[in-house]
Amino acid sequence: MKKILAMILALAMVFALAACGGSAAPAATEAPAAAEPAEAAAEPAAEAGPSSIAVCLASEPDTLDPALNSAVDGATLVSHLFSGLAKWAQDDNGALVIVADAAEELVEGVENEDGTVTYTYTLRDGLKWSDGKDVTAADFAFAWQRAASVELAADYGYMFEVVDGYDDIWADEPVEGAQLNVVAVDDKTLEVTLANAVSYWNELLAFPTYFPVREDVVADEAWATDPSTYVSNGPYTMTGWDHNSVITLEKNPNYVDADSILMEKIEFYLSDDANNMVANFKNGTWQLIDDVPTNEMATLQAEYPDEYVVAGQIGTYYVCWNVNEEILPADSGLTGAEAEAAKAEIRNAISLLFDRNYIVEEIGQAGQVPASSFVAMGMTNPDGSQFYETAGHNDGFNGYYNVSADAFEDNFTQALEVLKKYYAYDEATGMISGFPTMTYLYNTSESHKAIGEYLQSALAGVGITMNLENQEWATFLNTRKNGDYSIARNGWLADYNDPICFLDMWTSGSGNNDVQFGKDAHKDVAAYSLDLTDLGYDVAVENGTWADTYDVLIKTIKTCTDNEVRYELMHRAEDLLMSTGCICPLYFYTDTYMISSDVDGFFANPLGYKYFMYCTVG
């Protein structure tokens, strides 16, 4: 575990250096994992060679539209298919950095008299779409307006919240004709104005939601699922998509830096079966697999010491509750704020029933770190200390729970005392009764199933029945997003080097707000308080709604230019988030994958993206 901690801390240092240089960057939402054994292995790929590679990241992606994708596997493909103003790269020393891509350079912003900040980018000469048409500044402007629009309602639309004009688009009473303050001055010049200075702006430019798309192409709603209509501007073009089998990318001859791309063809095989992945890796059919069966980890590490990789990653694996799920006894008689406070206390108590050390040591087995907070290890405060180490308000431990092995017995006792307040308790059996039966939703995966079974057992130990339901990856994402669940597995990887990327996803209007905060019945629940007067803000709310409190707090963070105050505000946002009990962190991620020793030139970043364009296969 010390080795993994060191890796994650080293990644935090990479982030800090990148941010100082105007770089660092993305990683979409969440990664799928491995799965149940399939009856047969996938059809073998073509024989690998110096310029052809076959890999398996996950099963069928939900979408490869840059504006609509919200998963790491999809983001990896999109990053091979598109070229944004900025991109991830390796410097001469192998360090990860953000550099200009479609832009000639990543320029400094100019502050205006009203506090807004304007950036003016010049596009490189020779930028082409995969069909040979010129890439223009208007393509970027259109793509950004589309991604931020109410009509598209993209999960990541809120990533444009920092751009001037966004608030008018999404106001309760939208301003007629409102748009982002983004202008194509001419074919090669893009001007964008931010509402205020933002320290992580260059990192956003490397995020897939900021990639360009062409208006005539996306007019066909099915454009992103069919190679014949898929037009991109990056290193590769999509030449095949055999759904639920394989997506084929081939080098884009129209890419401006085509001469630097070494890998001619990449076959992304689609599977959620970890045993199938290992079988195809062992027989040489696939050169990289992004997961392995939990019960084979130790064996594979011993058999393939140079090909089995456990890398640091900045993200959190957690359980999320649907905030609208009724968990109080039918006869509780509690309503409104009192009912919401009771449910929050119950959810937080249940979080204490889970032995995180058992999960990481007996199930995860990949150096994961028990999590005591939602914002992941690796995110730092302005003074360089770990954000998670200064989270919460408890003596003797970091975060919101004491996750040390020695604390589990006390945690269990504390949880049971809370549950006794609301449910009937049988002293003889040690069981409560009256807790509604729940269903735990997870995506098809051996590791997710194993964790679900442990959580199910832990709850059964106190008399709570929780059934398990698995769904294939794309269906699972949409079920959870739509709030059609009671309790579910979840995971989040950093989008860029700032804790806000773990916090702004929970605003009422966010497409990544799987908990459904501020939505449906929760929209009118007035149970939250916020007082920022000690920080100089005229904000004091008692028993307000989620929109009155959390949404206001996130907006305040995004307009704050005093770094110390801003980080204090972010700690308060996590305090409010965790007080609901709807987020139950289990562990901080590591990234486990296997890559053939025949592959040279591969690199990955701590946010989950994997890059194959500079690979050769010996």
pLDDT in tens, 206-243: 999 999 999 999 999 999 999 999 999 999 999 999 99
Claim to verify: residue 418 and residue 490 sit in the same structural domain: yes
pLDDT tens digits for 73-101?
999 999 999 999 999 999 888 888 999 99
Claim to verify: residue 401 and residue 539 sit in the same structural domain: yes
Task: Flag whether pLDDT at 17 surpasses 50.
Answer: no
The residue written with tokens 């029945």 in the block is 465
What mean pLDDT, rounded, does the chain reach?
91
Identity (one letter) of the amino acid at 425? Y
Q: Is residue 66 part of a domain?
A: yes
User: Can you list the alpha helix ranges (DSSP code H) found in 310-443?
Assistant: 336-351, 356-358, 408-422
Task: Flag whether pLDDT at 187 surpasses 90.
Answer: yes
pLDDT on residue 312: 82
Claim to verify: residue 145 and residue 254 sit in the same structural domain: no
Task: Flag whether pLDDT at 32 surpasses 70.
Answer: no
**Rounded CA separation 103/84 (Å):** 8
Which residues have CB under 8 Å from 169's CB, separation 6+? 148, 149, 150, 175, 178, 179, 180
Reported confidence tier of residue 11, pLDDT bands at 50, 70, 90: low
**Rounded CA separation 453/458 (Å):** 9
Claim to verify: residue 207 and residue 239 sit in the same structural domain: no
Q: Is residue 595 part of a domain?
A: no
Structure-model confidence comparison of residues 465 and 496, the more confident one: 465
pLDDT on residue 62: 87
What is the gyration radius of the CA atoms in the chain, in angstroms? 24
Average pLDDT over residues 480-505: 95
**Rounded CA separation 19/14 (Å):** 9
Q: What is the CATH number of the domain that holds 492?
A: 3.10.105.10
Whether the Cβ atoms of residue 145 and residue 180 lie closer than 8 Å to each other = yes
Q: Is residue 21 part of a domain?
A: no
Reported confidence tier of residue 360, pLDDT bands at 50, 70, 90: very high
Claim to verify: residue 324 and residue 439 sit in the same structural domain: yes
Claim to verify: residue 332 and residue 203 sit in the same structural domain: no
Claim to verify: residue 401 and residue 252 sit in the same structural domain: no
Claim to verify: residue 459 and residue 318 sit in the same structural domain: yes
Q: Is residue 14 part of a domain?
A: no
Lowest mean pLDDT among 1-10, 259-268, 496-505, 604-613: 1-10
Reported confidence tier of residue 393, pLDDT bands at 50, 70, 90: confident
Claim to verify: residue 520 and residue 449 sit in the same structural domain: yes
Claim to verify: residue 488 and residue 610 sit in the same structural domain: no
Claim to verify: residue 188 and residue 206 sit in the same structural domain: yes
Whether the Cβ atoms of residue 214 and residue 65 lie closer than 8 Å to each other = no
Q: Is residue 4 part of a domain?
A: no
Q: Out of 211, 231, 259, pick the residue that ends a domain.
A: 211
Q: Out of 211, 244, 276, pick the residue that ends a domain.
A: 211
Reported confidence tier of residue 49, pLDDT bands at 50, 70, 90: low
**Rounded CA separation 202/516 (Å):** 30
pLDDT on residue 15: 52
Task: Flag whether pLDDT at 23 surpasses 50.
Answer: no
**Rounded CA separation 442/385 (Å):** 34
Task: Flag whether pLDDT at 1 surpasses 60.
Answer: no
pLDDT tens digits for 298-311?
899 999 999 999 98
Query: What are the φ and ψ backbone dihedral angles of 604, each rounded to 5 degrees?
Result: -135, 160
**Rounded CA separation 541/251 (Å):** 56
Q: Out of 182, 211, 240, pick the residue that ends a domain.
A: 211
Enclosing domain of residue 246: 31-83+217-307+600-618
Q: What is the CATH number of the domain that holds 95?
A: 3.90.76.10
**How many structural domains are present in the chain?**
3
pLDDT on residue 21: 33
User: Of 259, 204, 237, which is closest to residue 501 (Cα–Cα)?
Assistant: 204
Claim to verify: residue 269 and residue 360 sit in the same structural domain: no
**Rounded CA separation 266/576 (Å):** 44
pLDDT on residue 6: 52
Alpha-carbon distances of 136 from 101, 143, 189, rounded to whole Å: 14, 11, 8
